[in-house]
Amino acid sequence: MSTLTHSPVCWSTVKAAVEGLKWLKQNQRPHFFRWIKRFALSEASGIKCTEEAKTTFLKSLREQGSFEDWQLEQAEKAVEWYQRAFLSGDGGNTPTAAALSDRADWSDVFEAARIRFRQRGYALRTEESYLAWIKRFGDFFERRAPHSLESTEAGKYLTHLAVGQEVRASTQNQAFHSLRFLFVELLGKDFSDMEGTIRAQHSRKIPVVLSRQEIKRLLDNTAPGYQLMVELLYGTGMRVGECMRLRVKDPDFANGYITVREGKGSKDRRVPLPARLKAPLERRLECLRELHQQDRKNGVPGVALPGALERKYPHAGKELAWQWFWPMKNLSFDPRSGVRRRHHVHVKLVQRAIRQATLACEFSKRVTPHVLRHSFATHLLSSGTDIRTLQELLGHSNVETTMIYTHVLQRGGVGATSPLDELDSGS
């Protein structure tokens, strides 16, 4: 059973090799090359077994239902040739692409980066963020050839972010990791020499918190279709992305908790299921059963599964337990696999609903979904919950991160009485 050897691919080399295939007609070569890129960017490319990788890719194309048989045959031939010529590592006469060559351009960099992200199972948001920083870096140096850039240029760019753009430390740090990925993982260059780089200053900001009365007003003014989501955000302290990614199997109604999976830092944790939400969540579960049955009847492909689970358990995505707890009404195309399936509600829709409720309440504070998380933590702390328990509920790695909420409770200098208020006392 042959296996694949995955490395960053120089697409200019692959394209040149395709153009040199004498047995392939001239007008077929562009399509042949596009099938190869489509395979390389699919989840199937992460499978080491060549036959399994090809079969999984072709299966995903069939599930889309938008390709003719001759197109599937063409795709199969393209993938077979690509695996044999560039991924087998058999040392044959066909050209190999073990790494990005000195002739690689920025389009090669982006494609190789996408492949590496998807092979490692990075979140889509992480992939988009890293690619955006790499693009900004290339634009900053006017698209010079990638291999002509060194770590000193990366230092200049990071200094520009801190001084010229006045970005926050977290933003500069994100750019730093993106550039390190570019130099070390893709270009194979040293990235340790960063002396002289000006680092952005870390700032510690007090979080915005709503009072219990303000929370109630916000919930009362939230659109009915989003009210239960917003109540759950405040009642559990989940991040908005964590809440939207809940599956049917995650709420445990019998034991009164919700399992948050793959939270920040790829950590799982449990949060309390608010008692007042148990009945409405159970009613929603019944609606999800009906939707699930309808999808199965209509032959809708299963939902996306994390990591390699879709390959290990190919039918699990059609089981009720794995369905999204907050599914979209309409089907949409998966940005990675291209399969038209049911996705979960987008985070931006929840953000918009909270903004509209905030405007209706006429709050002077800027309210986002994360403010509900801050309010959850602060109100628990004021009710006597110890800091370690709160740290566990929020999923913080360091208790110092959780300690910020003690400042909101006026346990510092803000709790002192202003001398102005004592002027009338005559003391």
Catalytic residues: 239, 264, 370, 373, 396, 405
Q: Which residues contact 426 (CB under 8 A, 6 or more apart)?
A: none
Phi and psi at 361, nearest 5°, equal -80, -15
DSSP state string for 388-408: HHHHHHHT-SSHHHHTHHHHH
User: Which 3 state secondary structure label does DSSP give 17?
Assistant: helix
Rounded-to-integer distance, Cα 142 and Cα 191, Å: 21
The burial of 288, by beta-carbon neighbours within 10 Å (0-12 exposed, 13-18 middle, 19 or more buried), is given as middle
Rounded-to-integer distance, Cα 402 and Cα 391, Å: 6
Residue in the block written with tokens 């019998």 = 254
Dihedral sign of CA atoms 347, 350, 356, 358 in order: negative
Quote the crossing angle between the two packed helices 151-163 and 124-140, to the nearest 10°: 100
Displacement of CA 221 from its chain's centroid (Å) = 30
**H/E stretch holding 252:** strand 251-252
Phi and psi at 333, nearest 5°, equal -80, 130
Q: Are 137 and 157 in contact (CB under 8 A)?
A: yes
Largest CA distance in the chain: 101
Rounded-to-integer distance, Cα 395 and Cα 261, Å: 11
24-61 burial by CB neighbour count: b if 16+ within 10 A, else e?
beeeeeebbbebbbbbbbbbbbbbeebeebbebbbebb
Q: Are 32 and 80 in contact (CB under 8 A)?
A: no
Rounded-to-integer distance, Cα 172 and Cα 159, Å: 9
Give long-range contacts, CB 8 A cutoff, 24+ apart: 151-155: 151/183, 151/189, 151/190, 151/191, 151/192, 151/193, 151/194, 152/193, 154/179, 154/183, 154/191, 154/194, 155/193, 155/194, 155/195, 155/196, 155/197
Query: Angle CA(183)–CA(184)–CA(186) in degrees, nearest 5?
Result: 70
User: Which 3 state secondary structure label does DSSP give 167?
Assistant: coil
